[in-house]
Amino acid sequence: MRVWTTLSPVLRSARRSAPARSGAALAELGSRLTTPSRTANVAPVSSSPPGFDPNGPALGHGIYGLPHTPDEARVVLIPVPWEPTVSYRRGAAKGPAAILRASRQIDLFDLHTGRPYEQGIAMLDVDPDIARWNAEACAAAEPVLAAHGEVAGDRDLEARLAAVNALSRRLNERVGEIARRWLERGKLVGLVGGDHSAPYGTIAAHAERYPGMGILHVDAHADLRDAYEGFTDSHASILYNVATRHPKIARIVQVGLRDMSEDEARFIRASNGRIVAHTDPAIADRLFDGEPFHLITDAIIEDLPRDVYVTFDIDGLDPMLCPSTGTPVPGGLTFQQAVALIGRIHKSGRRIVGFDLNEVAPRDDGDDWDGNVGARLLYKLIGFALLSQDPR
């Protein structure tokens, strides 16, 4: 709850009792956020309109209850309600709305990243074409999914599969256009899915803008299938498509994988180190052996180049934190581990050039836990991405 009267003593004592390093970091952060941006390629810091109280309850209609328009904001979020290729359990298309709803009760002051809201954060309205294409593609996909993609010889199913694949290509083009438009204006662009096929266009746009960038991919699944159930742009193929279509992406570092096919394991091996998988069992073994988590995260981050795009499938987390996601798998990162991992990208001196959060699905009965965790994780991604923009 964002209510200053109940939270202020907690925050004050947290500030008082925090170790010197954190205090200094917060102070440094404060001065950094109040001075104009030193980064040439990013739009200037927005200032909040008069009358806006960051410590009060959320009154604004924007994400996190903020008043910024996309023009004013330094961070622009693209909502993509998209899930035609979801293979197990639907709901990801409702992710952006669930995150938007839950975001309004999150405190704007963040204990890890300070005051990211000061730079302006705005979520675009849903593109009506995308909503329409999703409805069309979901309807077309239904019998194809029921047949597990075995469409050969059935003309109706073949036509439906072709229609879904064509709509996926239109989505990718549209998302790419939107991302490019805002990147060209110097914004930090994030995407909120949707299933994991949703961010393809924005990853492509970032790969063009930041040649040589790496991808940190947090997920329970490798998503390296060469089409899945016949769908060329399946949620289970996103990293395969990214890897094979974008040679300028230097490296893909995967974390949290605990469900993959043998073909995917072979694909990783055949990549000659361009794709690196830090599987969930391997991370768990190192923790069980007593290795400190920061050494594990450092080893993960070391594999990445200076510019990092983060694609975060919420199912990379323990399913307790995302019980309604489409394809939950036991195991996974805790929330703190995920935050530490993202934070260490920034601490290592690397730059988070863009990000997406996908596969967040709300429960049908209106329970907002999935949206709540998603909105908080998104705020950490935003916060660390902003911090990482300024040269250290």
Q: How far is the CB of 126 from Mn ion (least distance, A)?
A: 21
Residue keyed to tokens 């991992």: 341
Is 313 annotated for ligand binding?
A: yes
Q: How far is the CB of 316 from Mn ion (least distance, A)?
A: 8
Q: How far is the CB of 61 from Mn ion (least distance, A)?
A: 30
For residue 356, state whether it binds Mn ion (rule: CB under 5 A): no
Identify the bridge partners of residue 192 per DSSP, sorted by sequence position. Answer: 79, 357
Residue 194, preceding peptide bond in cis (omega within 30° of 0): yes
| Candidate residues 94, 112, 196, 225; the one interacting with Mn ion per rule CB under 5 A | 196
Over the window 153 to 192, marking each residue x when it contacts Mn ion by CB under 5 A and - when it does not, the resulting string is ----------------------------------------
For residue 307, state whether it binds Mn ion (rule: CB under 5 A): no
**Which of 293, 112, 48, 74 is closest to 188 using CA atoms?**
74
Is 156 annotated for ligand binding?
A: no
Q: How far is the CB of 78 from Mn ion (least distance, A)?
A: 18
**Closest CB to Mn ion among 94 and 221?**
221
For residue 313, state whether it binds Mn ion (rule: CB under 5 A): yes
Stretch near Mn ion under the rule CB under 5 A, chosen from 24-32, 147-155, 309-317, 328-336: 309-317
Stretch near Mn ion under the rule CB under 5 A, chosen from 8-16, 154-162, 193-201, 378-386: 193-201
What is the helix, strand, coil percentage profile of the chain, to 5?
45, 15, 40
**Closest CB to Mn ion among 120 and 201?**
201
Six-digit token pair at 371? 């949206």
Report the amino acid identity of residue 304.
Answer: L
Stretch near Mn ion under the rule CB under 5 A, chosen from 222-230, 261-269, 287-295, 383-391: 222-230
Query: CB neighbours of 183 closer than 8 A, spacing ≥ 6?
Result: 189, 205, 206, 209, 354
**Closest CB to Mn ion among 2 and 221?**
221
Report the amino acid identity of residue 188.
Answer: L
For residue 195, state whether it binds Mn ion (rule: CB under 5 A): no
Query: CB neighbours of 356 closer than 8 A, spacing ≥ 6?
Result: 190, 191, 192, 193, 198, 199, 202, 203, 310, 311, 312
Stretch near Mn ion under the rule CB under 5 A, chosen from 77-85, 194-202, 240-248, 347-355: 194-202
The DSSP code sequence of 3-51 is -HHHHHHHHHHHHHHS-HHHHHHHHHHHHHHHSPP--TTSPPPP-PPTT
Q: Judge contact between 361 and 355, C-beta under 8 A.
A: no
Is 221 annotated for ligand binding?
A: yes
Query: How big is the site for Mn ion, counted in residues (CB under 5 A)?
Result: 5
Query: CB neighbours of 146 closer than 8 A, spacing ≥ 6?
Result: none
Q: How far is the CB of 220 from Mn ion (least distance, A)?
A: 7
Stretch near Mn ion under the rule CB under 5 A, chosen from 21-29, 75-83, 123-131, 307-315: 307-315
Is 223 annotated for ligand binding?
A: yes
**Closest CB to Mn ion among 83 and 313?**
313
Buried b (16+ CB within 10 A) or exposed e, 84-110: bbbbeebbbbbbbebbbbbbbbbbbbb
| Candidate residues 118, 223, 233, 356; the one interacting with Mn ion per rule CB under 5 A | 223
For residue 219, state whether it binds Mn ion (rule: CB under 5 A): yes
Six-digit token pair at 84? 């035609």
Q: Which residues bind Mn ion (CB under 5 A)?
A: 196, 219, 221, 223, 313
Binding residues for Mn(2+): 196, 219, 221, 223, 313, 315
